[in-house]
Amino acid sequence: MTIKRLFQGAEMDLFPDTLPTNIEETQAEIQPSELTKRVMGFCNLDLLLDAKPVTTGNFTLSVKAFTGNIPQQLIAFSKAAKSLTHSVGVHFFEYDYMIERFWNTPRKYLKMLKRFQVVFSPDYSVSYDVPDVVNEWNIFRNYASACIMQLQGIDVIPNIPVCLPRLYDKVFDPLERGGIYVISNVRAHANYFTRHEWYRFVREAVRRLNPKALLIYGNKMTVSDVQAYYFDNDNLIRLRNGKK
């Protein structure tokens, strides 16, 4: 029996005479399966979809620019829960294992973060020496976390993860132009290549985003064509004070 003969006449069972003409309305009526719900929860899409429903299978993140007041002091996310001072900014420039908890259970920390003046969006690692697919996942997590915070009314300064030119579109396209952004240079001092690529990235950020200001977290590295503010790396401050 040939394949053609095997399925002859089955098309009427597989495809009804009257197919829906409005695909978007039909998709809106479909309730997500339990598997879909689990996947959405794993990706934290359930915290994003209320503001922007997905009916076509495509989803585009859009991170709002920050135009408010720049904080004078910062505190690390891992120390924020026990902090008695809230008139400061919270940053996520820590090892990934120390900030992974926010992505795993964001609802647990949103109320706490609301108490602070402003929050630098998370900094899940984007590295030169790992596969692009890993970097793209972390870029998504950085920006999805920023969107989740913004939807909850938290003032967020978007952190722009430094990357190689082939990922520039992934990094810059979701960001609203003309605001204040933060860039870390903690990894820029490893060697000549990382330093060169950091400056190259900053020049591209200035060209594409036309920022009102850039906040540089780490050692002071002078940049041109933009107003820059500098914040010391917590680890360097601790070492200067003789603490391990």
Calpha distance 123→103 (Å, rounded): 11
pLDDT tens digits, 114-163? 999 999 999 999 999 899 999 999 999 999 999 999 999 999 999 999 99
Q: Would you say residue 52 has pLDDT above 60?
A: no
Q: Would you say residue 238 has pLDDT above 60?
A: no
Calpha distance 194→68 (Å, rounded): 31
pTM above 0.75, yes or no: yes
The closest alpha carbon to 91, from 75, 69, 105, belongs to: 75
Calpha distance 163→171 (Å, rounded): 8
The closest alpha carbon to 63, from 167, 144, 182, 135, belongs to: 144
The closest alpha carbon to 74, from 116, 112, 114, belongs to: 116
Q: Give me 138's structure tokens.
A: 């972390």
Query: Position 178: which residue type?
Result: G
Q: Give Dmax over CA atoms of the chain in angstroms.
A: 82
Provide the pLDDT for residue 12.
45
Provide the pLDDT for residue 43.
86
Provide the pLDDT for residue 4.
47
CB 137 within 8 A of CB 43: no
Provide the pLDDT for residue 24.
56
